[in-house]
Amino acid sequence: MVTIGIAITTTAQDTTFKSKHAAIFFPYPMYKEKWRSSIGFTLLTTPEDITEETRIRLPCGDYRLLRKINKHFILDNRLLFQVLQNHISTGIRYIKPITDNLYFSAGDDIGFWFGYLKLSGFNSKATGWLNYSHISLGYKTKKNLLITFKAQVSASLSYQAITGDNKVTIGKNAYNGETFTLAFEQPFYNKKHLTLAFSTINNYFYWQTWALFYKTKRKIFYPQVTVGFIL
Amino acid sequence: MKKIIIILLLSGLFLSCKKTYQVIMPDTSSWDLFKTPVALPLIQITRSAMEGVYDIPEGKDIFGELVAIKWSYVINNGDTTFHISGFFGKDIAYFICEGKQLNGSILMNGYWRKMVSTETGIMRLTIDPTDGASVLLTAAPLITSGSITINGKFGNGQEEPQIPITLKYKRPLNKSPAPFQIAAHRSGGRTSDLLPVSENSVAMILKTQEFGSTGVEIDIRFTRDGVPILFHDNTLNLRVIQKCGLVGPIENYTYEQLSTFVRLTHGEKIPTLREALNAVVYQTSLSFVWLDTKYTSSIKPVQALQKEFIQKAAAQGRGLDIVIGLPGKDQFNQFLALPDYTTTPALCELSIEDVEKINAKIWAPRFTEGTQNDKVAVVHAQGRRAFVWTVDVPEFITRFVNEGHFDGILSNFPSCVAFNYYVHE
C-alpha cells in the first residue's frame, strides 16, 4: 500500500504505447483522443437458486463510450441492452499512471435500469437506480497485453416493481454487493483490440434477474464474461 | 484459431462456476429443562388458547412488530406431534417449537429462520405462571389482550440463545367467514429455499403446516411404467436429487428404477402420488391439495386417485379438497376428454370462459395480472373460488391479502401469507 502511495505521487507516461483504440477496462489516460468506445456483449449465468432447472446464460449487448475530460479524468458511459430490460450508467473515472507499466483508477458511476414484460400472463415492469464505486489496477506487459483487476461495490438506491395493479417501491439506500473483474485487453485481429473480462458478482440483487425471482437478503453469486471489440 | 478455442473454453469453464448455499439447522436438544422427564405435553385447550396475534415489545428490530402464533400437528405411526409456529412480519421469519408444561410454566423449544437469508438459530420461550401460564393451564382459559407474556431468548446458528425476546398477546388470529387457503408450492416448500427436507417429498408434506400452510400444490409426472409420482423438473438433476448416475427425463425410468437408485436432496425417495395423498389424509390436517399437471398424457389415473382419496378423507370426517390443476391448453384438452369432467374437481389457470366450460371449482390466475377484483367477483358469483399463484414478494402478499378478494394464495413462502392473513383486521 505504501509502495503504491509513493508511486502515485510520480507521473508516468508511456509515449511508445499507442493508446488510441487500446483499452476500456485498463486505466490508461486519454492523452490525445477525445473519445474511446467499444461494442460487445456480456454473458451472465443465473444460479440454480433463480432458474432452478436450467442455468440460463443471459446474453446482453454492451456499448461503452469513454469521453476525455482532461489528462486524469474521463467520463465513462455504458449501455447494457437486452431489449426487454436495459441498464444505462454514467460516471467519472480518475486515472493515474504509477509507472510505465502500472496504472490506477478510481471512479463512481450511477446506473438506471428498467425492464418490462407483458406476455403470457405477465404484466410487469420495474425500474431502479444503482450506484457503483470502483477502483482498478492495470498492468501492461512488454507485449502490450493489458491486464486489469477491478474491484467494485454497488448500492441499491431505489427499486420499484409493478405487476398488474400491485406496486412495490423500496426507496432506501442499501449495500448491494461486490464485483471483482479480471480483464485482458490486447490487439487481437487486424490491429483491433479485444476485451475479455471475467467477473464474479456477489450481489443481493442483480438487475437482469428482476423478472425471475424475489429480491432477497441472500447474496447470490453470478459469473459473468464480457467480450468487447474496441472501436 | 487456437486463441479463440482457448478463450471459448476458458469462458465456458468460468460461466459454469457455481456457489453452494446451505442453512445448517441448529441442534435444539441442549435445553436440559425442556428434556426433563417430568415435563408434560400441553393439552388441546391450552394450545388453542395460546394461538393469537402477539406484539413484540422486545426483539422487534429483528422480527418486526407482530407475530401470529398457531399450532399444527402431524401423525407418525399413531403418535401425534404438535408444533407451535410463530409467523413474523419481517424478512419472512418464523419460529417453530415444541411445547411442554413444567411446574406450572409453559416451555417452548425450537428454532427460528429467516427465509430471505440463511439466518437461523435456537429459540427458547417460556410463559411463567404469573405471565399467563396459570390461566392457560386451566380447563377454560379466558384470554384477553395483554394476558399472556412469552419471554425467551434466541441465538444465531448453534450459539446458546442470549438475545432476549418478549411476545405479548394482543388479539385472536384473523379468521375470514369463507375458508382461506394458504397453499404451499412444491408440496410445501422449495429445496432451493434451503429447507431441512426436500421439495415434493412426503417429509415436506408432513412439515409444511409448521410453515403455516393449510394446503399444498404438488407436481405430478408419470414414470415409464405409468406410476404417477411427485417431481417438478423436466429432468433428473442435482438441484433436486443426490448424485446417482441417472440423467434425462424422469419419464424414461420405471418406478422401480427410481425407487432403487434415486434419492432426493435430503435422502428421501421420490414419492408416488398415492403415498403423498395417503400422508395428506392420514397424517396431516391439510385441507387442500392442488395436483399440478406436469404431464400431457391421460389424466385418468390421477382422476382415479383423486376420487379414491376424496372418499377416504370423507370417511375420516376430513374436509379435504383435492383438485386437478390445469395450467395449459394441452392439459385442458386432456381434461375435456374425461367422461365425467364436469363433476371432477379442477383448478383452471386459463380464462374464466375456460373455467366455466369445464365447471372448474377454482380459477387461478398468475399473480402478475394483479388483484383483478372485478374478475374474482364474477367467479364468486358463479359459486366458484379464485386462487392466485405464485406470490412470493412480501409486499405483494400483503396487497393480495389486504386488498384482493382471492380465496387462496399459492406461495413458496406460506409463513409470509400466514402472517399477513392472521394479523389482518
pLDDT in tens, A163-218: 877 777 776 778 999 999 999 988 766 567 888 999 999 998 898 888 776 667 78
A14-24 pLDDT, tens per residue? 555 555 557 88
Are β-strands B215-222 and B228-230 bridged in parallel, bridged antiparallel, or unpaired?
Answer: antiparallel
**Hunting for cell 449495500 — which residue is that?**
A175
Element of type H or E holding B35 = helix B32-35
Q: Is B192 on the interface with A (CB under 8 A)?
A: yes
Domain ranges in chain B?
32-171, 181-423
The size of the A-B interface in CB pairs under 8 A is: 94
Q: Which of A122, A163, A205 to mutate to test the interface with B (most CBs of B within 10 A)?
A: A163
Specify the pTM.
0.87
Interface test with A, best of B14, B233, B265, B412 (most A CBs within 10 A): B14
pLDDT in tens, A77-98: 999 998 889 999 999 999 999 9
Written as nine digits, the cell of A8 is 502515485
Span B320-368, pLDDT tens digits: 999 999 999 999 999 999 989 999 999 999 999 999 999 999 999 998 8
The architecture that CATH gives domain A2-11+24-230 is: Beta Barrel (2.40)
For the packed helices B300-315 and B273-283, what is the interaxial angle rounded to 10 degrees? Answer: 20
Residues of A in contact with B372 (CB under 8 A): 164
Q: Under an 8 A CB cutoff, do A188 and B237 touch?
A: no
Sign of CA dihedral B272, B278, B281, B283: negative
> Does the distance separating the beta carbons of A55 and B370 come in below 8 Å?
no
What average pLDDT score do residues B249-277 get?
96
Tell me the per-residue pLDDT of B183-195, one tens digit each, with 9 for 90 and over.
999 999 999 899 9
pLDDT at residue A150 is higher than 50 = yes
Q: What is the tens place of the pLDDT at every residue in B75-112?
A: 998 899 999 999 999 999 999 999 999 999 999 999 99
The shortest C-alpha distance from B323 to chain A (Å) reads: 22
Q: Which residue of A has its CA nearest to B12?
A: A225
Nearest-Cα residue of chain B relative to residue A125: B368
Q: Do A225 and B369 touch (CB under 8 A)?
A: no
Nearest to B7 among A48, A196, A216 (CB): A196
Q: How confident is the model at residue A49 (pLDDT cuts 50, 70, 90)?
A: low
pLDDT of residue B122 exceeding 80? yes
pLDDT of B4 reads 67
- With CB atoms and an 8 Å threshold, state whether B14 touches A166: no
The yes-or-no verdict on residue A41 having pLDDT over 90 is: yes
Q: Which residues pair with A192 in a beta bridge?
A: A189
> What percent of chain A shows pLDDT beyond 70?
83
- pLDDT for A189 equals 61
What cell does B398 get? 400483503
pLDDT, averaged across chain A: 83
Q: Which of B7, B237, B366 sits opposite A53 (nearest CB)?
A: B237
Q: Tell me the CATH number for domain B181-423.
A: 3.20.20.190
Q: With 70 as the cut, is the pLDDT of residue B130 above it?
A: yes
Query: In this model, does residue A3 exceed pLDDT 50?
Result: no
**Which chain B residues are closer than 8 Å to A163 by Cβ?**
367-370, 396
* pLDDT score recorded for residue B413: 96
pLDDT exceeds cutoff 50 at A159: yes
CA angle, B391 then B396 then B397, to 5°: 65
pLDDT tens per residue, range B10-46: 777 777 677 777 889 999 999 999 999 999 999 999 9
pLDDT at B132 over 80: yes
Window 201-240 of B, Cβ < 8 Å to A: 232-235, 237, 239
User: Who among B17, B117, B395 is closest to A223 (CB)?
Assistant: B17
Contact A53 B395 (CB under 8 A): no
Q: What are phi and psi of B220, to 5 degrees?
A: -115, 130
Quickly tell me which residue has 483487476 as its cell: A149
- Residue A95's identity, in one-letter code, is I
The DSSP bridge partners found for residue A195 are A185, A228
Task: Give the ipTM.
Answer: 0.72
User: What pLDDT does residue A8 have?
Assistant: 38
**For residue B383, how many other CB atoms are within 10 A of its CB?**
7
Average pLDDT (A147-151) is: 95
